[in-house]
Amino acid sequence: MSKDRASLFYRLNDYKPLKNASESIKDEKEAQDLVLEKTEEEESLRNSSLVLGARKMPGAMERCDKLDMSAMIMLESALDREKISRKILPEAVPVTLNCKMKAREKYQSDLWLEIEHPNKGLVLQDPSSSSLALFNTTSNAVAQCEGDPVDNIFEQNLKIKFYISSRSTSPSSYSEDEADTVKITDSAHLPVHTPTIKRKECHSRIFFPTKHKAHRFFLTSFTAPTKCHQCTSLMVGLIRQGCTCDACGFSCHTACVEKAPRACPVPFHQKKGAFCLDPQKGLGTVYEGHVWIPKKAGMKKGWQRALAIVCDFKLFLFDMNEEDSKPNVVVSQVIDMRRFYSLPESCFSFRDGAFSVSSVWPSDFVPAKRKEMPRMFKVTASQLSAPSNRYSIPILADSENKKSEWVGVLSELHKILRKSHSRDRSIYVLKEAYDSDLPLIKTTQTAAIIDHKRIALGNEEGLFVVHVIIDEIIRVGDIKKIHQIELIPHGQMVAVISGRSHQVQLFPMSVLDGEKTDSHRLAETKGCHTMTSGTVCQGAHTCLCVARKSQVFCYELFQSNTISHKKFKQLQIPTTVQWMGIFSEQLCVGFQSGFLRYPLKREGVPYRMLHFHDPTLSFITHQPVDALCAVEISSIEYLLCFKSIGIYTDSRGLRSRPVELMWPAPPTYCCYNAPYLSVYSENAVDIFDVNTMDWIQTIPLKKVRPLNSEGSLNIFLLETIRLIYFKNKKTNGEELVSSETPDNQEKQMVQHLSSKRRYSFRVPRAKAVLPKGL
């Protein structure tokens, strides 16, 4: 074989496909240099082939014919692949290689974590030590490992695995040249194949690899309202609303990933339209468009642009950003067509109403310009709202034709809903707990339901007991400025945080009946801001825990003839305490970006309820978020509610469910009354079932605040201040009996002659109206 032919074979053997060379590409310039080099190599190979062809002798051709033909076939195949790669590379480099190759070179190792069966797993003895584990939703098994999670690999149960790649989970850490979405960590149950296990260092972003030509789903935080390409419903939430395929852009709910078409990209015949409705399930988007809604200060201040979407038998309204005219991801207002709020006529002077949509006429007394009337319509629902009892939103369309379309769509959808006989899943019926004319209600800061006939109100003036049936009021003690009321029925005591010094005082329960007694002060609690009570030792002892900044004082309470206490524990929390509760004889403390459980009657280290060494939960630490409350679903599962999201964890602080609880708008308070979670925001109260994770009700009350931990008593701070009772329709009997219908006469608090602490709320005799005939 000639030297030229030998060099040709050596070149052919040394040839590497472009996909292997791409691993060394660092930026666009190097990629272009590589293309140029491969072009020169191609021309060199072609020239060598021509020269050899000219020098071939007949005898040599016979000896090398088979080898030469094989070499040329391999060469032509390689050159064809090179041509295709050269055409694709210049277009792909500016978009993907420049960013992806840098990340790939920076992090060379991959981590595959596997799930073991519980009886094969390793359990930490020290809950405070680091651990890394993920979950398997099919078996609910979690493998946990002691020491550095980076150096441990699980080799059992290969059904679910997670590939951890390199990128920060914090939305603020992404560069401006990326898309509007933010890719963050998650551990959702997605279809994956069995990977090779590798581990060198722990990174912070998880994606879900699938088979060749299948989707590669990333959990994504959308910055604008986004619909699921599978079910067409909105992906509601503040962060981590759904998954997006980084190859084709297919986006869907985490729960819809397994239902999505397997092929990537999705074939045209499998794509769903922008509007699709399932009347039986009540899922899907029917219509959307831009409208104008009144500004927050009122219609007299003008209109603001909004995006309106009719989805899942709800009307969603999203405010538009003034700077870039893009819709905000936060839901501004929601009108639910499936829930008709049954407000008894005895409480409010109207019959039960229902959802309706109609045009606006001058007789409606809407403060709008006459030329805007032909383009206006209003959406109305039965609801508690002052000064009337109907919740109505005036909407301005861009044209009269658009207005007709909106009215037609909403009316038709309401007809479909009525024909389908959709089950009303609403839980709470709203009632007025007591007459809003009572002066004490206007300054109420906290409240508690004593029994079905009495409520306790705490305000600037002090602590009062209101008998809702006989309109009698009792003042308790001489304390003022009540900040929190805690009823302790097991210990037959009442605890309050009162005064300018925010100090805890204890009273026997008999004081609520009007008996005069002295209070018992807890001297160490000056400056406290929250407290909680419960029982320990299987109900044998009563415990009161009081938080002052980042300290928690735990007391055991005793009562015989007098009240006494004993401090048995003092806890130091990492940061300021934001929430407290007692679960299964353990104190649960919520603080910024975390929850801890402390054993009360025994010594021991605290248990992390949110273990940050679980990579699927590490996103909480990248952007600190306030803790709102925790819910004990069972002895082995908890729901941790933060201002941005709700997360389900097990007793070891590891994720127990792949799906998270999404808030439509930023919450201000969370209250739990088993099994329903009430999430308060600026414009509404959203009700969730913590077991099924269903969003079952929206109460469009603005400026409403809970007065007790269960959320059954609320203060409505709009125009006429009202005390609102959320009655659970599913419970037998009534927790609180509703007051009588107001008689439209001016009532006053009249002091009893026999006691300075007792009052009657009635019409003074001088102003009383005599019955007819007298």
Instruction: Please say if the pLDDT value at position 320 is more than 90.
Output: yes
Say what the pLDDT of residue 448 is.
97
C-alpha to C-alpha distance for 750 and 758, rounded to whole angstroms: 9
Distance CA 582, CA 600 (A): 9
pLDDT of residue 150: 27
DSSP-assigned beta bridge partners for residue 17: none
Least confident range from 150-164, 462-476, 517-531: namely 150-164
* Res 282: pLDDT: 72
Residue whose structure tokens are 């007792």: 758
Average pLDDT over residues 57-69: 47
- Among 305-309, 314-318, 611-615, 766-770, where is mean pLDDT lowest? 766-770
Two tokens at 256? 């819809």
- Angstrom CA distances, 753 to 201, 339, 439, 477, stand at 79, 49, 20, 18
pTM to 2 decimal places: 0.72
Alpha carbon 527 to chain centroid, angstroms: 32
Please tell me which residue, 347 or 207, carries the higher pLDDT value.
207
pLDDT at 278 over 80: no
Confidence of residue 175 (pLDDT cuts 50, 70, 90): very low
pLDDT at residue 267, rounded to an integer: 85
478, amino acid identity: D
Mean pLDDT of 382-390: 49
Mapping DSSP to helix (H, G, I), strand (E, B) and coil, where does residue 409 land? helix
How many percent of the chain have pLDDT more than 90?
A: 43
DSSP-derived letter for residue 214 is B
Q: Which of 447, 351, 434 is nearest to 724 (CA)?
A: 434
pLDDT band at 742 (very low <50, low <70, confident <90, very high): low
Query: Lowest-confidence range among 45-59, 189-203, 406-420, 737-751?
Result: 189-203
Mean pLDDT lowest for which of 168-177, 271-280, 381-390, 454-463? Answer: 168-177
Among the ranges given (87-101, 356-370, 605-619), the one the predictor scored with the smallest mean pLDDT: 87-101
Average pLDDT, rounded, for the chain = 75
For the beta carbon of residue 434, count every other beta carbon within 10 angstroms: 23
For residue 207, what pLDDT is reported? 46
Query: Which of 333, 381, 388, 386 lies closest to 355, judged by CA?
Result: 381
Tell me: pLDDT of 49 over 70: no
Q: Would you place residue 203 in the very low, low, confident or very high pLDDT band (cuts 50, 70, 90)?
A: very low
> Which residue has tokens 């604008």?
224
Residue 98: predicted pLDDT: 46
* CA neighbor of 83 nearest in space, from 41, 131, 121: 41
| Bridge partners of residue 220, in order along the sequence | 183, 242
Q: Name which of 243, 174, 169, 158 is nearest 202 in CA terms.
A: 169
DSSP string, 541-588: EEEEEEEETTEEEEEEEEESSSEEEEEEEEEE-SS---EEEEETTEEE
Q: Report DSSP state, residue 372.
A: G
623: confidence class by pLDDT, cuts 50, 70, 90: confident
Query: In this predicted structure, what is the pLDDT of residue 608?
Result: 92
CB-based contacts of 212: which residues, under 8 Å, 6+ apart? none
Identify which has the larger pLDDT, 361 or 478. Answer: 478
Position 84 confidence tier, pLDDT thresholds 50, 70, 90: low
Q: Cα 409 to chain center, whole Å?
A: 30
Structure-model confidence comparison of residues 341 and 374, the more confident one: 374
Residue 483, token pair as written in the block: 């900040």
The answer to whether 121 and 142 have CB atoms below 8 angstroms apart is yes
**Which residue has 């009588």 as its token pair?**
740
Average confidence (pLDDT) over 631-637 = 95
Q: 681-724, pLDDT tens digit by residue? A: 999 999 999 999 999 999 988 889 999 999 999 999 877 899 99
Q: Which residues of 92-127 are buried (b: 16+ CB within 10 A; e: fewer)?
A: ebeeebbeebeebeebeebbbbbbbeeeebeebeeb
Burial class of 707 by CB neighbour count within 10 A (0 to 12, 13 to 18, 19+):
buried
Count of C-beta atoms within a 10 Å radius of residue 504: 27
The amino acid present at 263, given as its one-letter code, is A
Residue 139 has pLDDT above 70, yes or no: no
CA distance 715 to 681: 14
pLDDT at 324: 83
More confident call, 140 vs 225 = 225
The angle that helices 58-92 and 28-55 make with each other, rounded to 10 degrees, is: 160
The C-alpha atoms of residue 11 and residue 125 are separated, in whole angstroms, by: 60
Averaged pLDDT, 426-430: 89
pLDDT value at 210 more than 60: no
Using the structure block, give the residue that is written with the tokens 């994956």. Answer: 192
Residue 17: band (very low, low, confident or very high) from pLDDT cuts 50, 70, 90 = very low
530-536 sheet: strands from edge to edge:
530-536, 541-548, 551-559, 563-572
Distance of CA 78 to the CA centre of its chain: 52
- At 128 the pLDDT is 32
pLDDT attached to residue 744: 59
> Is the pLDDT at 67 greater than 80, yes or no?
no
Lowest mean pLDDT among 117-131, 226-240, 277-291, 339-353: 117-131
Which helix (H) or strand (E) covers residue 381, if one does?
Answer: strand 376-382
Q: What backbone torsions phi and psi does residue 14 show, to the nearest 5 degrees?
A: -80, -5
Share of the chain above pLDDT 70, in %: 66
**Tens digit of each residue's pLDDT (9 = 90 or more) over 539-595:** 889 999 999 999 999 999 998 888 999 999 999 999 999 999 999 899 999 999 999
Task: Name which of 452, 450, 457, 458 is nearest 431 in CA terms.
Answer: 452
What are the helix (H) ranges across 256-387?
none
User: Which pLDDT band holds residue 738 (cuts at 50, 70, 90)?
Assistant: confident
- pLDDT bracket for residue 269 (50, 70, 90): confident
Contact 612, 618 (CB under 8 A): yes
**Cβ count near 516 (within 10 Å):** 10
| Between 173 and 733, residue with greater pLDDT | 733
pLDDT of 534 over the 70 cut = yes
What backbone phi and psi angles, to 5 degrees, belong to 249? 85, 10
Question: Which range is least confidently modeled, 75-79, 431-435, 704-708?
Answer: 75-79
The pLDDT-based confidence of 372 (bands split at 50, 70, 90) is: confident
Q: What share of the chain is helix, strand, coil (3-state, %, to 5)?
A: 20, 35, 45
When comparing pLDDT for 222 and 99, which is higher? 222
Report pLDDT for 472: 93
Of 518, 479, 486, 476, which Cα lies nearest the Cα of 501? Answer: 479
162, pLDDT greater than 50: no
Encode burial over 252-272: b for 16+ CB neighbours within 10 A, e otherwise.
bbbbbbeebbeebebeeeeeb
210-219, 347-356, 430-439, 483-492, range with the lowest pLDDT: 347-356
Whether 151 shows a pLDDT value over 50: the answer reads no
Amino acid of residue 294:
P
